[in-house]
């Protein structure tokens, strides 16, 4: 009964290559931009893109992943770091450590938000068509699409598995420890089920001529590669090159 929500937002509407190129650029920029301001601004920018671009719900899974990291980095570097210290209210923080924590938090957040946006907006059929139009061989296009698509499928499955497990008494709500303990019993049915499903789907796909030889696949609905898409992709590449140049010059 539970159906996958149709991908929404900028990442889903753009040409499939655009979000991928941009997210790779984000990874590069996260490390190239001058710390700590650079990564933090990058993270903020991506959060704004998520909200304005039509997929604000992407921030929920991103937060789940990012916030524990922030806390960990803060404790590790800011509270427990050494060197010159500064007091901030009741806390005594390492200056250098705080900067490090902010930098790494910013980097991690930027990368996570970008990845979540890409995965949530991924449309495998469209990607394959775009790749074929761009001259990719069928196998590469298909495998890339199937891999990226595996994640949302995994998520849907995770929801179903969690329901089934809760219906047998697994407690997932409550304290952090309860939630953490709940993760382990969920992992096995998830993995096994996913592998099993891959197995069965492979049979079905084999009979749908996926392994056909000597023919090239016809793209059904190649997505339009608009001027905006090209601009954004080139813009991302130039931003990375610019950041590299800055590094050498500054």
Partner 1 sequence: MICFDQVRFRYRRDPVLRGLTFEGRRGEALGLFGANGAGKTTALRLCMALMHPEEGSVTVDSRSTAGLGPEDMVDLVGYLFQRPDDQLIRTTVREELAYGAERQGWAPERIAAAVAGALEECQLAGVAETHPYDLAMPKRRLVALASILVTDPKVLLLDEPTALLDRTGRALVAAIVRTRVAAGGTVIAVTHDPAFAIEALDRGVALEMGQVMQEGSPEELLRSGVAGLELPPAVVAAQRAGLTSKSLRMVDLASALARHRS
Partner 2 sequence: MSAIEFSRVSFRYPTSGPVLRDVTFEAPAGRVTWIFGPAGAGASTLLLAAAGLAPGLTGGSLEGSVRILGQDPGSRSGRGAVQGKVAYVTATPYLQLSGMAESVFDEVAFAPANIGWDRARIEAAVPEALARLGIGHLADRIPEELSGGEQQRVVLAAMFVLRPDVWLLDEPTSALDGTGRELVRAFVRAEAERGCVVLFATEDAELGLALADEMVLLDEGSTVARGIPADLLGTELMWAMRAGSTGVGELARAANRLAGERAAHLAPPYPLTVEAAVERWR
Q: For binding to partner 1 (CB under 8 A), which residues are involved? A: 1, 5, 157, 160-161, 163-173, 185, 188-189, 192-193, 196-197
> Which one, 160 or 247, has the nearer CB to partner 1?
160
Binder of residue 176, out of partner 1, partner 2, none (CB less than 5 to 8 A by kind): none
* Residue 95 neighbours by CB distance under 10 Å: 13
Instruction: Please give the C-alpha separations between residue 233 and each of 113, 136, 143, 162, in angstroms, as whole numbers.
Output: 18, 18, 23, 39
DSSP 83: S
Residue 55 CB, nearest approach to partner 1 (Å): 16
Q: Is 206 exposed, middle or buried (0-12, 13-18, 19+ CB in 10 A)?
A: exposed
Binder of residue 202, out of partner 2, partner 1, none (CB less than 5 to 8 A by kind): partner 2
- Structure tokens given for 195: 């592998």
Residue 226 CB, nearest approach to partner 2 (Å): 19
> Which one, 151 or 158, has the nearer CB to partner 1?
158
Residues that bind partner 2 (CB under 8 A): 3-4, 6, 123-126, 128, 138, 145-146, 149, 153, 197, 200-221
Residue 195 CB, nearest approach to partner 1 (Å): 9
Binder of residue 225, out of partner 1, partner 2, none (CB less than 5 to 8 A by kind): none
Nearest of 162, 156, 166, 164 to residue 187 by alpha carbon: 162
Binder of residue 175, out of partner 1, partner 2, none (CB less than 5 to 8 A by kind): none
* Residue 106 neighbours by CB distance under 10 Å: 23
> Which one, 31 or 138, has the nearer CB to partner 2?
138
Residue 222 CB, nearest approach to partner 1 (Å): 30
> Which one, 203 or 248, has the nearer CB to partner 2?
203
Residues 123/12, Cβ–Cβ less than 8 Å: yes
Q: How many CA atoms lie within 13 A of 213 on its CB side?
A: 0
> Which one, 4 or 84, has the nearer CB to partner 1?
4
Only one residue has tokens 């929801």, namely 159
DSSP 176: H
Residue 169 CB, nearest approach to partner 1 (Å): 3
Calpha distance 149→84 (Å, rounded): 48
Binder of residue 209, out of partner 1, partner 2, none (CB less than 5 to 8 A by kind): partner 2
In sequence order, the 6+-apart residues with CB closer than 8 A to the CB of 239 are: 25, 29
- Structure tokens given for 72: 């960990």
Residue 2 CB, nearest approach to partner 2 (Å): 10
């Amino acid at each position: 009964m539970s159906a996958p929500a149709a991908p929404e937002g900028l990442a889903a509407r753009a040409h499939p290559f655009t979000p991928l190129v941009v997210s790779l650029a984000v990874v590069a920029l996260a490390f190239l931009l001058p710390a700590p301001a650079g990564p933090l601004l990058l993270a903020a920018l991506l959060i704004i893109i998520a909200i304005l671009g039509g997929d604000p719900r992407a921030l929920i899974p991103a937060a789940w992943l990012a916030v524990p990291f922030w806390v960990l980095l803060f404790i590790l570097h800011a509270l427990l770091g050494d060197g010159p210290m500064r007091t901030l209210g009741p806390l005594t923080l390492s200056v250098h450590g705080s900067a490090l924590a902010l930098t790494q938090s910013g980097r991690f957040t930027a990368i996570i938000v970008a990845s979540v946006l890409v995965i949530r907006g991924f449309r495998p059929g469209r990607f394959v068509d775009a790749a074929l139009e761009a001259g990719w061989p069928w196998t590469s296009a298909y495998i890339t699409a199937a891999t990226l698509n595996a994640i949302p499928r995994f998520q849907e499955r995770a929801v179903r598995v969690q329901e089934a497990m809760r219906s047998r008494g697994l407690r997932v709500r409550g304290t952090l420890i309860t939630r953490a303990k709940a993760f382990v019993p969920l992992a096995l049915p998830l993995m096994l089920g996913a592998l099993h499903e891959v197995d069965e789907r492979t049979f079905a796909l084999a009979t749908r001529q996926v392994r056909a030889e000597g023919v090239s696949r016809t793209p059904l609905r190649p997505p339009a590669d608009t001027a905006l898409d090209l601009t954004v992709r080139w813009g991302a590449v130039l931003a990375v090159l610019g950041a590299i140049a800055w590094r050498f010059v500054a």
